[in-house]
Structure formats: C-alpha cells, structure tokens
C-alpha cells in the first residue's frame, strides 16, 4: 500500500512500536495507529485511519483539528528519530498518511492530497517531511470504472471503502485477482472473523467508535436544547423588560400628574 501511495517500490518494511519515545518529560505522548519504517528506502511512516470526524471538527472550521493533528504527528515522528551524532543529510524521510472516510478539505477533493514545505512560487524547501490525505469518499465514483482502468491507489481505496459491501463483491473479487497486496490484506481482514482475539479487538474498536459517535450526537442534542432554553429565557426576559418599562412609564406619568396637582393646590389654582 505504501509503495502504491508513494509511487515507488518498498521491499523491506518493518512495524515499530506505536508510541514514539518522548523528547523530554514535558512532551505529550502520541500514539500512532501504525508506525513503520522502510529499511531499504530510508523512510518512516505514521499511518492513521479516521472513520468519522473528530469531535467538533467540521467542514465549517476547515477540519482544522484533523489537519493540525496530522502536522503534530508528522513533526513528532520526524523529530523523534536518532539525531545525536547524525548528519542532517542522514535523517530518514518522514511521512504522515491519514486515510479518511470523509472529505477533509473544502476544495474539490482528489483521492490523494500531498503536502510538503514550499514557498509561494511552488519551490520546495525540503522533501524530508510529507503529509498525505487519502479521501475514501472518492471510492464511490472510482468503483464505476473498470478495474484495469484504476490506478493502484484507486484499487486500494475501493477495497478499503467497499470490501464489506455485498453490492461490490464482484468488483472486489476482480481487484483481488489483479492486486496481490490487496489479496493479502483481504485474507487478513477475513481472518478477523475466525480469530477470537482479533475479533474481540475489532469489536472493541467498533464499540469505541460507536460510543464516541453516540456521545458526540448526544452532546450536540444537549447543546441544541440548552441554546433553545437560553433563547426562550431571553425572549421571556425581553418581554418582562418591556412590561417593567411600561409600568415604570405609567408610574412616572402618575408621579408627574400628582406633582402637578400638588403644585396647583399650593398655588391656589
């Protein structure tokens, strides 16, 4: 999958611990979904899967939370490689890949969006750090293509998005025949249903995602109800303010009339 995303072959990829070492005692510990290194390519990767938007992260705010988290993970990954006694030219290239089941960007999304350090003219400062977003919402349109017309990364996107959809079984089977890497991934996916431990972990993750989605929806409902109550209270307050103002005006008119009568009595008029 990494080879297809980068467009160059990787032969030796090793999985590392998903918690990178802390740079100092005050640093925030980050946990990666997949932390791996390509030995032959001298590069390292953090691969993240995001099924639903983070809490309070919407297109209205530009999905800034997931974008900022991507930057944080990428910087964390790149900064926590061995540096003492190593020349700057010897550092590993670092890639942060986020595979999202929703559109992150407000512009017309492509399947893969790649970001590096560049100036206003498009000249690159460095290719040592790269952030990549894969938008699985594009898979619906891609699935309408003939498999031979799909690029390798498009086949991966369709697999991720449609592997469990019975309507696309024939399409997935054709992809499995043509793409050995995806075929291996599919075997791993189906093994979840036969391996009790893997199945338990899969259920736990799904339960966590569902609980998170439920809590988010519940908070949104509570917030809406609270805003409605505040609005109603504000309307009632405004009404009583008008009533109080009218009463004050009436009392002021009465006071003025009484004062006028007292003046007339005192002057004998």
Q: Report how far residue 182's alpha carbon sits from residue 172's, in angstroms, rounded to the nearest whole number.
A: 10
Cβ–Cβ < 8 Å for 139, 158: yes
Q: Report how far residue 50's alpha carbon sits from residue 120's, in angstroms, rounded to the nearest whole number.
A: 30
- If pLDDT is split at 50, 70 and 90, which confidence band does 25 have? very low
200 within domain boundaries: no
215 within domain boundaries: no
138 and 19 co-located in one domain: yes
Which range has the top average pLDDT, 92-106, 206-220, 251-265?
92-106
Q: Report how far residue 153's alpha carbon sits from residue 112's, in angstroms, rounded to the nearest whole number.
A: 9
228 within domain boundaries: no
49 within domain boundaries: yes
Strands 34-38 and 43-50: antiparallel
Predicted pLDDT of residue 158: 95
Task: Taking each helix axis as running N to C, give the angle between helix 152-162 and helix 169-178, from 0 to 180 degrees, rounded to the nearest 10.
Answer: 140
- List the one residue out of 138, 182, 177 whose CA is nearest residue 156: 182
Domain stops at, among 110, 142, 174: 142
The residue ranking higher by pLDDT, 129 or 225, is 129
Which residues, 6+ apart, have CB-to-CB distance to 111 below 8 Å? Answer: 134, 135, 138, 142, 153, 154, 157
257 within domain boundaries: no
229 within domain boundaries: no
Predicted pLDDT of residue 24: 45
The residue ranking higher by pLDDT, 110 or 32, is 110
pTM above 0.85, yes or no: no
180 and 55 co-located in one domain: no
Q: How many domains does the chain have?
A: 2
Tens-digit pLDDT profile for residues 121-179: 989 998 899 999 999 999 999 999 999 999 999 999 999 999 888 999 999 999 999 99
112 pLDDT above the threshold of 90: yes
**Mean residue pLDDT across the chain:** 83
Cβ–Cβ < 8 Å for 138, 112: no
Task: Please give the residue range of the domain that contains residue 70.
Answer: 1-142
166 and 41 co-located in one domain: no
Q: How far is CA 130 from CA 46, 55, 73, 74, 190, in A?
A: 11, 25, 11, 8, 32
Residue 49 DSSP one-character state? E
Predicted pLDDT of residue 269: 54
Tens-digit pLDDT profile for residues 165-224: 899 999 999 999 999 999 988 888 777 666 666 666 766 676 777 777 767 777 788 888
Cβ–Cβ < 8 Å for 208, 49: no
Predicted pLDDT of residue 197: 67
């Amino acid at each position: 999958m990494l080879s297809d995303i980068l467009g160059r072959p990787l032969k030796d990829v090793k999985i590392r611990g998903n918690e990178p070492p802390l740079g100092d005692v005050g640093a925030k510990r980050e946990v990666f979904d997949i932390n791996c290194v390509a030995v032959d390519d001298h590069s390292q990767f953090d691969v993240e899967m995001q099924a639903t938007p983070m809490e309070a992260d919407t297109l209205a705010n530009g999905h800034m939370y997931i974008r900022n988290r991507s930057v944080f993970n990428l910087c964390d990954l790149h900064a926590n490689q061995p540096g003492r006694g190593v020349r700057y030219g010897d550092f590993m290239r670092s890639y942060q890949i986020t595979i999202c089941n929703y559109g992150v960007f407000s512009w017309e999304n492509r399947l893969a969006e790649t970001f590096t350090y560049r100036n206003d003219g498009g000249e690159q400062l460095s290719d040592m750090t790269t952030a990549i977003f894969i938008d699985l919402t594009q898979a619906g349109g891609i699935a309408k293509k003939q498999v031979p017309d799909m690029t390798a990364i498009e086949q991966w996107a369709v697999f991720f998005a449609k592997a469990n959809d019975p309507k696309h079984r024939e399409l997935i089977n054709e992809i499995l025949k043509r793409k050995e890497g995806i075929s291996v991934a599919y075997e791993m996916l189906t093994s979840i249903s036969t391996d009790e431990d893997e199945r338990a972990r899969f259920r736990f993750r799904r339960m966590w995602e569902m609980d998170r989605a439920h809590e988010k929806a519940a908070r949104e409902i509570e917030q809406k109800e609270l805003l409605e109550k505040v609005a109603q209270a504000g309307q009632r307050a405004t009404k009583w303010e008008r009533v109080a103002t009218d009463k004050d005006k009436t009392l002021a008119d009465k006071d003025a009339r009484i004062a006028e009568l007292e003046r007339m009595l005192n002057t004998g008029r």
